[in-house]
Chains A and B, each alone.
Chain A
Amino acid sequence: MREMTYGEAVNAALHRLMEELPETLVYGEDVGVPGGVFGVTRGLRKQYGERAFDTPISESAILGSAVGAAMFGRRPIVEIMWADFSLVALDQIVNQAANVRYVSGGRLTAPLTIRTQQGNAPGACAQHSQCLEALFLHVPGLRVCMPSTPQDAYDLLVTAVHCDDPVLVIENRTLYFGRKEPVETGGPVRPMGGARTRRAGSDVTIVTWGAMTERVLEAAEALAGDGIEAEVLETPWLNPFDTGAVLASAGRTGRLAVVHEANVTGGFGAEVVARVAGAGVPLLAPPIRIGTPDVRMPAAPALAQSLVPDAARITGDVRGLVKG
């Protein structure tokens, strides 16, 4: 087990995939020779030559060519530098990639992986801060995952690339350079889906994903000081989503909070709450959603930090949920 940061784990997964799947290609803006703006694709160009290359700043061409190459036996892993930039080429993801298998009745497939990163970081502007997973989760035909740990950053990418469907792997740049953790590399390709019980508890279920996971764990720690035992369920796979794990946990604890960095209205948290409600899980209190308010994202760190949920706010909101 090597100690790796999240970013290094992504890099290790890419190296493994290029090695074991000769049909993989890695390309996107600045990913080849420069090794990526976050250094995540470092070494691929050197090692695999023409299979890792830089492209023009052309998201439609990057994504569209990935669809076409995937139809013809390649397994492209393309990078969209910031999730916000996917919006200039949404057509290729939503109208093209997501339709290939379905409309052709399975005679054509589009096994491509789109790596991107999203979320707010100090000083990022409104066009480099959005959390867009709900947009993609609304599109049948796309698989979506959001790893938050080095091990999941490695495992989920390996799974995504081995999958024969279009998969979005949404990373987070605030995690790339985080702490090093032991990462098991070279293991079997894990199945898609599943939840991670990051902390067991009996008073409240907190479902979360992405960069909020860490803050939720911090909040759970603070809540424990108050005698509130929170069960923290991380769901790094959002499609497929492990509804069963959420229902089981919420059924046990009788309370539900969903925490995501994305803004609340139309966020995937609403879907989680709806599934729990629809399943008739008896709850002791109305479920809550914690996210960024419905607002654009300001650049000034002090302003942005007042909007994105932090451990203190999560702690307070969940305490309110439990104490009534």
Chain B
Amino acid sequence: MSERRLADLLAMWRIRAFEEKVRDLRAEGPIVGSVHLCVGQEAIPVGACEVLEPQDALFATYRGHGWALARGVPAEPLFAELMGRASGVNGGRGGSAYFTAAEYGFHGENSIVGAGAPIACGAALAGRYDGSGRVAVSVFGDGAMNQGAVHEAMNFAAAFSLPVVFVCENNRYSELTPIADMVRSPRLADRAAAYGMPGHRIDGNDAEAVRFHVRDALEVAREGGGPTLLECMTERLVGHYIGDAETYRQPGELERIRRREPIARLRAGLLADGVPEREIDAVERRARAEMDAAAEAARQSPPADPATAMEHLYA
């Protein structure tokens, strides 16, 4: 049991160490532009990706670095992408908000809120004809629940019983605005009923809970039972983007979030179960060492060649 939880801890620390390294590199300069970190939300990709099959499709959002890592994309080409290097996962064409690595079963982040949901329906639809047994997972935030494309996708998937798992990462803020102020009914999972699909609100800061529910939803989808909506409750430990002044936070909010964030929680649980502290701390050190090395290797790699900027526009 603690074996599994130590593995979860490592997977979450890999994401957090990656994101913190990104933050540092953004401050130092090799990374420029708009970056959305998922610090505090690591349990969701870690729990979900572990039960995905290689043939499954995964569509994330611009807060998707953790999903790419959890899906198995190595850190170095991700850092390289962020730094505009030729060896970047998209060769420097995607950037922070548009990682795609189909060869790892990661079918892309997306900068457009909610746009991945209809695309995921298409990946699921293709599975109906190719016999792959593919399930498509569409990840988006609470804000995307108010996008027309997401409503359309949920109905489309439900109407055709498509194998889609809709994963809503409810971090309580739609960018800089509390989701609670933007909906009449704050339980977003309840919307599933109106589309005729199961919907569950789950603890998104517990990788085990996420894994349990995603595994179930995948099974239902693979058996022809259609889509599921999972509302994973979580919180960001950071701003919406790097540089966000976070003026919308309530007094004491960040302290409360830190007490229940997934890594701190898992650490406390492992300690309570008698796992030695040095073993737990070694996990963090290992993750940070990996990310430091990956970032450094990426930084040393050659930049994308401007001579290639016009390539791959058409077949």
Chain A residues closer than 8 Å to B136, beta-carbon distance? 68
Q: Does B103 contact A (CB under 8 A)?
A: yes
Instruction: Say which one of A106-114, A205-213, A264-272, A276-284 lies at the interface with B.
Output: A106-114
Bound state CA distance, A141 and B315, in angstroms? 10
Determine if A60 and B314 form an interchain contact, defined as CB atoms under 8 angstroms apart: no
Contact B123–A105 (Cβ < 8 Å): no
Q: Is B133 an interface residue (CB 8 A)?
A: no
On whether the beta carbons of B112 and A102 are closer than 8 Å, the reply is: no
**Chain A nearest Cβ from B131, distance in angstroms:** 11
The answer to the question of A165 belonging to the interface, with a C-beta cut-off of 8 Å to chain B, is yes
Interface residue A4 (Cβ < 8 Å from any Cβ of B)? no
Q: Are B315 and A56 in contact (CB under 8 A)?
A: no
Chain A 65-111 residues near chain B, CB threshold 8 A: 65-74, 76, 88-89, 91-92, 95-96, 99, 101-109, 111
A72 & B130 in contact (Cβ 8 Å cutoff): yes
Complex interface: chain A residues within 8 A of B241 (CB): none
On whether the beta carbons of A69 and B90 are closer than 8 Å, the reply is: no
* CB nearest neighbor in B for A51: B129
Interface residues on chain B, size class: 35 or more
Q: A68 with B315: in contact, given A56-B152, A96-B112 (CB under 8 Å)? A: no
Question: Separation in Å of the B195 CB from the closest CB of chain A?
Answer: 11
Is the beta-carbon distance between A107 and B102 smaller than 8 angstroms?
A: yes
When distances are taken between beta carbons in the complex, the residues of chain A under 8 Å from B312 are: 101-102, 104-106
Q: Is A143 an interface residue (CB 8 A)?
A: yes
Give chain A nearest CB distance to B106 CB in angstroms.
11
A236 to chain B, nearest CB (A): 18
A55 near B100 (CB under 8 angstroms)?
Answer: no
Task: Name the distance in Å between A50's Cβ and chain B's nearest Cβ.
Answer: 8
With A58-B156, A61-B152, A101-B313 already in contact, the answer to whether A69 and B126 are too (CB < 8 A) is yes
Residue A322 at the chain B interface, CB threshold 8 Å: no
Are A104 and B102 in contact (CB-based, < 8 A)? yes
Does the CB pair A76–B156 fall under 8 Å?
no
Binds A, one of B12-20, B91-99, B214-222, B268-276: B91-99
Q: Contacting chain A: which of B113-121, B172-180, B183-191?
A: B113-121
Per a CB cutoff under 8 Å, which of A50, A61, A95 touches B121? A61
A188 to chain B, nearest CB (A): 18
User: Are B315 and A101 in touch, CB under 8 angstroms?
Assistant: yes
CA gap between A104 and B100 in the complex, in Å:
6
B148 within 8 A of A: yes
Assess the A104–B90 pair: CB atoms within 8 A: yes
- With a cutoff of 8 Å between Cβ atoms, the chain B residues found around residue A140 in the complex are 313
B122: interface (CB < 8 Å) = yes
B233 close to chain A: CB less than 8 A: no
Given A68-B125, A96-B112, A101-B315, also A60-B102 (CB < 8 A): no
Q: At the interface, yes or no: B36 with Cβ under 8 Å from chain A?
A: no
Quick check: is B141 within 8 A (CB to CB) of the other chain? Answer: no
Q: Which residues of B contact A55 (CB under 8 A)?
A: 156
Q: Which of B262-315 contact A (CB under 8 A)?
A: 311-315
The verdict on A67 contacting B119 (CB below 8 Å), with A56-B152, A165-B315 known, is yes
- Contact of A95 with B119 at beta-carbon distance under 8 Å, contacts A55-B156, A73-B126 already known: no
Contact A72 B315 (CB under 8 A): no
A214 at the interface (CB under 8 A from B): no
**A64 in the interface (beta carbon within 8 A):** yes
Question: How far, in Å, is A136 (CB) from chain B's closest CB?
Answer: 14
A163 contacts partner chain B, Cβ-Cβ < 8 Å? yes
Enumerate chain B residues within 8 angstroms of A163, measured Cβ to Cβ. 315
Q: Knowing A91-B149, A108-B100, A165-B315, say if A68 contacts B155 (CB, 8 Å).
A: no
Q: In this complex, what residue of A is CB-closest to B103?
A: A107
Question: How far is B118's CA from A312's CA once the two chains are assembled, in angstroms?
Answer: 47
Contact with B along A134-174 (1 / 0, CB 8 A): 00000011010000000000000000000111000000000
Are A64 and B117 also in contact (CB < 8 A) when A25-B129, A69-B126, A108-B102 are? yes
Query: Are the CB atoms of A58 and B102 closer together than 8 Å?
Result: no
In the assembled complex, how far is the CB of residue B262 from the closest CB belonging to chain A, in whole angstroms? Answer: 30
Considering residues A59, A60, A96, A143, which has the most beta carbons from chain B within 10 angstroms of its beta carbon? A60
Nearest-CB residue, chain B, relative to A78: B122
**Is A71 in contact with B122, judged by CB distance below 8 angstroms?**
yes
Most chain A CB atoms below 10 A, which of B57, B91, B94, B100: B100
Take A64-B115, A101-B315, A104-B100 as given contacts and tell me if A72 and B123 are in contact as well, using a CB distance cutoff of 8 Å.
yes
Contact call A143/B122, Cβ cutoff below 8 A: no
List, in ascending order, chain A residues with CB within 8 A of B121's CB. Answer: 61, 64-65, 68
Give Cα A55 to B157, complex, Å: 11
Which of chain B's residues 124-138 have a Cβ closer than 8 Å to chain A?
124-130, 134, 136
The answer to whether B159 has its CB under 8 Å from any CB of chain A is yes
A68 touching B156, Cβ below 8 Å: no
Cα-based distance from A66 to B120 in the complex (angstroms): 10
Partner of B118, one of A25, A68, A111: A68
Query: In the bound complex, how far is the Cα of B124 from the Cα of A71, in angstroms?
Result: 11
Q: Tell me the bound Cα distance from A60 to B149 in angstroms.
A: 6
CA distance A318 to B126 in the complex (A): 51
B107 is an interface residue with CB less than 8 A from chain A: yes
17 A–B contact pairs at CB < 8 A? Answer: A25-B125, A51-B129, A58-B155, A64-B117, A64-B153, A65-B119, A68-B119, A68-B125, A71-B102, A72-B123, A74-B129, A95-B112, A103-B98, A106-B312, A108-B108, A140-B313, A164-B315
Supply 16 further A-B pairs (C-beta < 8 A) apart from A95-B111, A101-B313, A105-B311.
Answer: A56-B152, A60-B149, A60-B152, A61-B152, A64-B115, A65-B118, A65-B119, A69-B123, A71-B119, A71-B126, A74-B129, A76-B122, A99-B98, A103-B98, A164-B315, A165-B314
